[in-house]
Structure 1
Amino acid sequence: MRDRSGRPVADTSPVAETVPFRYAAVGDSFTEGVGDPRPNGQMRGWADLVAEGIANTLRTPIGYANVAIRGRLLDPIVDDQLPTVLNLDPPPTLVTFNGGGNDMLRPNFDVGTLGERTEEAIGACAAAGVRLVLLSGPDPSSRLPFGSAVGVRGAQYTAVLADLAQRHDVTFVDLFNTTALAHPGYWSSDRIHLNPQGHRRVAAEVLATVLEVTSDVTHPPAEASPRPWDAVTFGCNHLLPWVIRHARGRSSGDLIEPKHDDWEVIGPATLR
């Protein structure tokens, strides 16, 4: 740690002094927690729940940072978000990495390039001595009007992630092929983001893989019967705004700031 003149100074931050474990999350809307809003409008999501679960399991407060922002492509996640968390002082103990979902919606999708960028992220974490956990996003393709192409791309990218994880001995949480997450009761009305129950299911999957602890699994509510106007509502409220935004070269995350761009000391129930 250095002062404004660049001279080294002692690190007196609460995180450096008090917590033995620090968890940082990078990614897009999935990791930001879109679909699981708190009463104040800020998103919670699976990563917040994982942080709380780690604190519960270790029975001690931990440091938590989350710089994920909705709409982000894989390049800025690797080039901007990951260096941000790896340069935190003190550095993270664990980083969860997910991205590529927005790239799958672009016409210039290239699974080879996504694999190369992900491998760069793996190398950066290894060089920093930080444990990395890769996640594939859950599969939204059955609910989307262009879902078949997204499903094929998602399966291709998930296979690449699984191969990278095996070759580099990195923990991999395969949510794309987690059958339970296909249940419609886990998804928001926009058909592409999980709802609160879905985020809780993902948190349980991550905690079971990373810490080998069993969490309570939130089962989805019974699926409501489709209504004749559901497709129209989806088109007007979600699909059309997405098309207009991308035609203008804009992103849903253009005005969004990271919710935790430095360490937050949390304990059980802190983030609820």
Structure 2
Amino acid sequence: MTSFPSRYVALGDSFTEGVGDTDDRFPNGLRGWSERVAEQLAIGNPDFRYANLAIRGRLLGPIVDEQLGPALALKPDLVTIYAGGNDMMRPKLDLDAVVARYDTAIAALTESGARVVMFTAYDTGWSAFFGKLRGRMAIYNELVREVADRHGATIVDFWRFAEYQDLRMWDFDRLHMSPAGHQNMAAHVLDAIGVGHTLNAPDLGPVPAQSKIEARREDRQWTREFLVPWLARRVKGVSSGDGVSAKRPELAPAFQA
């Protein structure tokens, strides 16, 4: 029988902070999959507490430097962590060094007694732009799976979730999940840790037919409104997380939406 966690801490970047799932009822104006996981874990569990230290735009190194110590101090029995996605999009990357740093962090988390949940990166092969990173992400995923195996962590294998080929699972920027994508991810996480839940996979219906003209129009809009500003920030060394604080820095009851 799976025991329900009572102290859940979420670590990472925009993926875990909940970017793409805007909801003003929640800290930072974001809900996200981790909030949904916490809501489910809190059902019938009055002692349950949840913290989310994730901040958008963070590279793996800063995630470890800024979030690992505070997370351990909270003495969690469940930790979810996604890190490395922003590193993957940098022109130069020592992938072995990045994952070695990740390995050290995962070792510290598992040695604390917490159950640790990790994620692979998503398969971006369908994307004309992000698909160029597919090979790098595939190597990263194999290294992450090795880390999980070495330390007994649980893997949520995002790489294999074919339903995310539907653009409706993504926000306009095609980089962050939509509310439907976040709900779907929450269900995958709960399934991975063996906890029953009331979340249903989003029923989006058939993918709407789209002409080549409509697709090109959307691509131009995406390039103009997301890609160009995003690349400009990369050039300037500006992060979307500059000035952003963790949405839930202390353990507290989960908000019931």
**TM-score, length-normalised on structure 1?**
0.84
| Structure 1 residue 21 displacement after superposition | 0.6
Give yes or no for the alignment of 1:204 onto 2:187: yes
Match of 1:74 in 2: 60
Q: Which runs of 4+ in 1 moved over 4 A?
A: none
Give yes or no for the alignment of 1:167 onto 2:153: no
**Identical-residue share of aligned pairs (%):** 36
In the comparison of the two structures, how many residue pairs are matched? Answer: 247
Give yes or no for the alignment of 1:184 onto 2:171: no
| Structure 1 residue 221 displacement after superposition | 4.7
Write out per-residue CA displacement over residues 247-270 of structure 1, whole angstroms, 9 at most, x where no aligned residue.
11110010211110011112xxx2
Determine the C-alpha separation between the residues in 2 that align with 1:187 and 1:141: 15
Unaligned runs of 5+ in 2: none
Unaligned runs of 5+ in 1: 1-18
The 8 Å contact of residues 25 and 68 in structure 1, kept in 2 or not, is answered as yes
| Structure 1 residue 61 displacement after superposition | 4.6
- Letter aligned with residue 148 of structure 2: A
CA RMSD across the alignment: 1.9
Flag the structure with larger Rg: 1
**TM-score, length-normalised on structure 2?**
0.89
Counterparts of 1:215-234 in structure 2, within 5 Å, are: 215-224=199-208, 225=210, 227=214, 228-234=216-222
Judge which range, 197-206 or 135-144, deviates more: 135-144
Q: Flag the 1:158–1:219 CA change in 2: closer, same or farther, 3 A.
A: farther
| Structure 1 residue 170 displacement after superposition | 1.4
Give yes or no for the alignment of 1:43 onto 2:27: no
- Letter aligned with residue 229 of structure 2: P
Write out per-residue CA displacement over residues 157-190 of structure 1, whole angstroms, 9 at most, x where no aligned residue.
1111112212222111111222222222211110
Determine the C-alpha separation between the residues in 1 that align with 2:204 and 2:68: 33
Determine the C-alpha separation between the residues in 1 that align with 2:131 and 2:125: 6
- Letter aligned with residue 20 of structure 2: G
| Structure 1 residue 59 displacement after superposition | 3.8
Q: Flag the 1:125–1:213 CA change in 2: closer, same or farther, 3 A.
A: same
Determine the C-alpha separation between the residues in 1 that align with 2:66 and 2:159: 25
Write out per-residue CA displacement over residues 208-235 of structure 1, whole angstroms, 9 at most, x where no aligned residue.
0113425421133543425142112111
